[in-house]
Structure 1
Amino acid sequence: MSNSNPAPTEAPTATQPDGDAAGGPPVQVLPARAVPLGGPRAMTVRRTLPQRDRSLIGAWCFVDHYGPDDVAATGGMDVAPHPHTGLQTASWLFSGEIEHRDSLGSHAYVRPGELNLMTAGRGISHSEVSTQRTTVLHGVQLWIALPEKDRHTGRDFRHHVPAPVALPGGRVRVFLGTLAGETSPVPTYTPLLGAEIVIDPLASVTLTVDPGFEHGVLVDRGDVRVAGTPVPRGELGYLDPGARTLTLANTANEPARLLLLGGAPFGEEIVMWWNFIGRSHADIVAAREEWESGAARFGTVHGYPGERLPAPELPHSSLKPRGNPAPR
């Protein structure tokens, strides 16, 4: 998905320091802001990362949550070929279907419960279009920052269908990393975790997690408490490293669904503008110029019935690196 807002107004954050009764870690609740993705029938997404006070959770640097949208009313998703650098895109759906084409030559579909992971490295371009079979579109688009040593790596594309794993009180699908005894075969450039968790009505699940990871819990549906703290639908609960277990509770009479994202603190500052991640203003300027000139760096997407997206104008001031605060 293309970031249609290269200079967003960042939402304030809210911290709820009361952990659970067993002394669980405090949870910082990161509210969502609505971002329209262009056009008169714009599909609106709820963006929880980056925030003013938090740019990354591990290497996860971008979280867009959308739907459920009636595509007859919204027009669905139709994102023309656009570029990326220095990152990976992870696409995960709850309903609907998206057709993916990229300049590596990949032609694939994103379907519920299936991971599409695209590595941009030095440069890639791709398009994303919801299919005619889609009536309701609902899912998330995630970006992962590549570390300095790997950010100029070659293009790559992986498709993985994780099996559901039963838990007392729910089930989990692990699409990246390791959780609940299940390990995704998809390689990552930094230690990461990505999983969809469904919690039964009025139930809770307690998971063993890596104490070296920070974690984020994106609530898709249900009345969810993360380590004792309520996290509203569409918002993101953040937890510092240190905990060895994490309890997620559903207080509703219907199943709850959430994404658990985690990773070792990234430890590098990044410059993120439009669809590019670099380390300096000059990195972004060079990437934009090469996209606009049609340079071979980004390749060509074949099969999309239309023109590619032009890059927006750069801001008049220099882009500054983003880092994260120290653990709270």
Structure 2
Amino acid sequence: MVRRRLVDATRRRAQDERRAAQLQLLSDGAVEPVRQELPDRRLGLLFACAHPAIDAAVRAPLMLQTMLGFDAAAIASAFLVAPATMGQRLVRAKRRIREAGIALELPATDELPGRLDAVLDAIYAAYAEGWLDADGTDARRRNLADEALWLGRVVAALLPGEPEALGLLALMLYTDARRRARRCEAGRDYVPLAEQDPRRWDAARIDEAEALLQQAVRAGRPGRFQLEAAVQSAHCVRRFGRAVDWTAIEQLYAALETLTGSPVVALNRAVALAQSRGAEPALAALDALRGDARLADYQPYWAARAALLARSARHDEAFAAYQRAIGLERDPAVRRFLQRRLEQTVKGPGGADRP
């Protein structure tokens, strides 16, 4: 099974990386690399910004600012850091580029795989930013998701042997397949994934994503985007009338957390735990994240916490968490959805106002 192979391979990779942390592959430079024209100028610039002399943590943010026009606040939100902190990192990176005389030129073909991770991170951040504008009313975000999908296709075609490029494209296709289903038929109200009608999903895009994920997994080199795509694949069984395997999703998130250490992944694992084991274990997992400053202003954390508190009949705490989530949300449709959930919490399960 794809997800089991990914989980097992991820565990092996984590062990191998710990053993090889101090090793570095060096090229003898005996052969002059062959340069080729990249099919999209923006993609070439993204790879140029992934220069190894630039701090790895700032490569993707630098791409988003210089190549895709993101401001520091949007970039900071995508990477869960304070805007001032992100601004300082970008300023330092640009200063280093100037002072060190780093030439941001198109890399040789054989250098592309070594720069791939930062490029994929930037493409996915651009896709996610466009995905947030479900109504297509934000001029800055308009068509950003489509552009990211195009760049993802170009990278996957350029480096077909790189499973993470395939994994990212699969991930974006899985989520994009649900674009219409994110709003009700009238187009006004937000519909969460668990309540979406699978008949409104784009079956052709899901089939394409499934084929890409299978191709990626066969390479035997699991990574973040393959695991995230596998989670989306697990949700897609609903289109065949089957129940979602939440235990499998929780295991995928556990493997992903081992790989990335991301608090957002830990949050998603807690949400999966709520479905497979109940609200209390999930709340315990969320409590373990309360001290992480990166989640302090992260709306999904507060929305998930509010829903779990409501399930546990901790209504006053749920009310406060819902208010926090509503205050952090920018999308009017999602705010209305959260407001309705808050009102249900106030009224209680029977529909009457709680004492």
Task: Please state which band the TM-score falls in when normalised by the shorter chain.
Answer: under 0.3
- 1 or 2, which has the higher strand percentage? 1
Higher RCO (C-alpha under 8 Å, 6+ residues apart): 1
**TM-score (norm. length: structure 2):** 0.26
**TM-score (norm. length: structure 1):** 0.27
- 1 or 2, which has the higher helix percentage? 2
Computing the radius of gyration from Cα coordinates, the structure with the larger value is 2
